[in-house]
Amino acid sequence: MNRLTRQATAAAALALALGLAACNGGSDDDADAPAGTATTANTEGGTRGPVDRTETDTPDPGAGEGTTPDPAGEGTTPDASGDGTTPDVAAEPASEHEEALHLAIDAAEEAVPGTRAVDLDVDDADHTQVFIEVTDGQTTTKVTVRGGVATPGETDSTDADDRAEYEAATVTMQEAITHALAEWPGMIDEIELETDDDTGTLRWDFEIEVDGRDMDVWVDATTGETGLDD
């Protein structure tokens, strides 16, 4: 190759190299942009600076004003009864004393099948012992109950007056106990089914010790109404 030919070839190679460099020069800024950023096209020409995607707002975890919502709605404890009143006494569990009397009556009536209790007397010396009279309208049996064990004893014929009272009573002794203790909570000493001399009302008469005082309580044997004797 002669000298002129070599010079022409070198000039062409140099021109080609400069052209390639010009094409690659416009991407230097984009190549230097940090990871996690983006460029936005400028509507008036050129490019805008990088948009930093790391500067985002974090939502407030609080409830609107940074306060914790009150689970009860008004900051108060909900009323379990629904109306702020104490539940009815009749819906409450029976006292141990009342429950013991119910169990004693059950035992006495089961010991003499077909009968109902008409008289009850708690032993003054031993309150775990109860004397109960049960009748079927024809025969009256005295039953001693202690520790849940009923022992039938003396039996007598039921007289006409007692038979009439037995047949007329629609409120049982156990129901009368519940009515009486709902009004006058205390310790029952005696219960008797009898007709009031003044009013002629058939009722269950109670002797109940309430706060150290003996009270004469009655329960109507047909309506369940309660009251105190003067």
Check whether 182 has a pLDDT greater than 60. Answer: yes
- In the predicted model, is pLDDT for residue 202 greater than 90? yes
Q: Could you list the residue range(s) of the whole structural domain that residue 194 is in?
A: 93-228
Residue linked to tokens 């108060």 = 76
The pTM for the full model equals: 0.60
Q: Total structural domains in the chain?
A: 1
Of 80, 102, 81, the C-alpha closest to 93 is: 102
Q: Is the pLDDT of residue 124 over 60?
A: yes
Q: In this predicted structure, what is the pLDDT of residue 94?
A: 56
- Give yes or no for residue 150 having a pLDDT over 70: yes
In a domain, 145, yes or no: yes
Euclidean distance between the first and the last CA atom of the chain, given in angstroms as a whole number: 150
Residue 6 pLDDT greater than 60, yes or no = no
Task: Output DSSP code: residue 41.
Answer: B
Amino acid type, 8: A
Please check whether residue 10 lies inside any domain of the structure: no
Average pLDDT of the residues in 16-23: 43
pLDDT at 119 over 50: yes
From 147, 210, 144, select the one nearest 183 (Cα to Cα). 210
pLDDT of 107 higher than 60: yes
| Structural domain includes residue 108 | yes
Q: Is residue 162 part of a domain?
A: yes
| 3-state SS string for 120-150 | EEECCCCCCEEEEEEECCCEEEEEEEECCEE
**C-alpha–C-alpha distance, residues 31 and 25, integer Å:** 11
The residue among 214, 192, 187 whose CA lies nearest residue 203 is 192
DSSP state of 34: P
Q: Is residue 179 part of a domain?
A: yes
pLDDT band at 125 (very low <50, low <70, confident <90, very high): confident
